[in-house]
Amino acid sequence: MSYLTKTVVYVLLVAQALANDWPIIDGYPCPQEDIDNTGCQGPKDCLYRNPENCSRFIQCTVDGLAYDMPCAEEYLHWNDGLKVCDWPENAGCTTGAFSGGSDDLVTPAPQPFQCPRKDIVNTLCLGPKDCLYTNPADCGTFIQCTVNPGNQSGTPIVMPCPAGLKWNDKKKECDWPANATCRHKK
Ligand X SMILES: *[C@@H]1O[C@H](CO)[C@@H](O)[C@H](O)[C@H]1NC(C)=O
Cβ 147 to ligand X, closest distance in Å? 7
CA distance 45 to 68: 15
Window 132-161: residues binding ligand X (CB under 6 A) = 150-151
Q: Does 111 bind ligand X (CB under 6 A)?
A: no
Instruction: For Cα atoms 115, 64, 81, give the angle at the middle one, nearest 5 degrees.
Output: 100
d(CA 26, CA 43): 23
**Position 121 contacts ligand X (CB under 6 A):** no
Residue 144 and residue 99: Cα distance in Å, rounded?
41
Q: Stretches 3-11, 29-37, 48-56, 106-114: which one binds ligand X (CB under 6 A)?
A: 48-56
179 binds ligand X (CB under 6 A): yes
49/56 with CB nearer ligand X = 56
Tell the burial category of 83 from Cβ atoms under 10 Å away from its Cβ (0-12, 13-18, 19+). Answer: middle
Taking the complex as a whole, how short is the minimal distance between the CB of residue 164 and ligand X, in angstroms? 11
List 103, 109, 178, 185, residue binding ligand X (CB under 6 A): 178
CA pair distance 172, 180, nearest whole angstrom? 10
- List residues binding ligand X (CB under 6 A): 53, 55-56, 70, 74, 97, 124, 150-151, 176, 178-179
